[in-house]
Amino acid sequence: MAATAVGMFGFGFALWPLYNVFCDVFGINGKINPEAVSLAGYTVDPDREIDIAFDTTVNQEMPWRFEPLVKRIVVHPGETHRVSFRVENPTDRTIVGQAIPSVSPGPAAGYFRKTECFCFTRQTLGPGEVREMPVAFLVDPALPEDLDMLVLSYTFFDVSDVESVTSPKISQKSP
């Protein structure tokens, strides 16, 4: 009987942390943690360091100013990080931009995991508007051992005159 009481007390005591984990993973009760869902299963490798540099450019047709707030960081594979970039529209008109990312060296691209990025959507900046834009990421611990330096680059393009694609147009031929 005493063992049952102790077991029930232990189970009741463990329910609160288990409830929090359950809510975090499934986004229930307002506890949304996209990293818990998107990055589940990664373990941090504290013995390994990866140097990550951030590079920004704008296409020659894009008048924006664009820069990383941090030029370089050192991370452990499996660890989540968040960095921000600053963009400014110095013109007197609204401009829509799209950032295109790239990771180098090429073989490392498959091991760089972004969970949040301004590059996922088009960015609209009004005249003179300045904005900080975050990127949340981790480096997959399966990154080959010979790769210890990565560069995350973004190029912004002016897409103000490009129609938004909501669904592909498929031409159908009559049978």
State the pLDDT at residue 163: 64
Between CA 88 and CA 66 the distance in angstroms is: 7
Instruction: Return mean pLDDT, the chain.
Output: 79
Cis bond upstream, residue 105 (ω within 30):
yes
> Mind listing the pLDDT tens digit for each residue in 117-162?
999 999 999 999 999 999 999 999 999 999 999 999 999 999 998 8
Model pTM score? 0.69
Between CA 129 and CA 115 the distance in angstroms is: 25
- Domains in the chain: boundaries: 1-32, 44-158
**Average pLDDT of the residues in 85-95:** 97
Q: Is 83 helix (H, G, I), strand (E, B) or coil?
A: strand
Per CATH, domain 44-158 is 2.60.370.10: yes
> Mind listing the pLDDT tens digit for each residue in 94-129?
999 999 999 999 899 989 999 899 999 999 999 999
CA 69, chain centre distance (Å): 16
Between CA 151 and CA 79 the distance in angstroms is: 17
Confidence of residue 43 (pLDDT cuts 50, 70, 90): confident
For residue 114, which amino acid is it? K
DSSP states of 109-140: GGGEEEEEEGGGS-EEE-TT-EEEEEEEEEE-
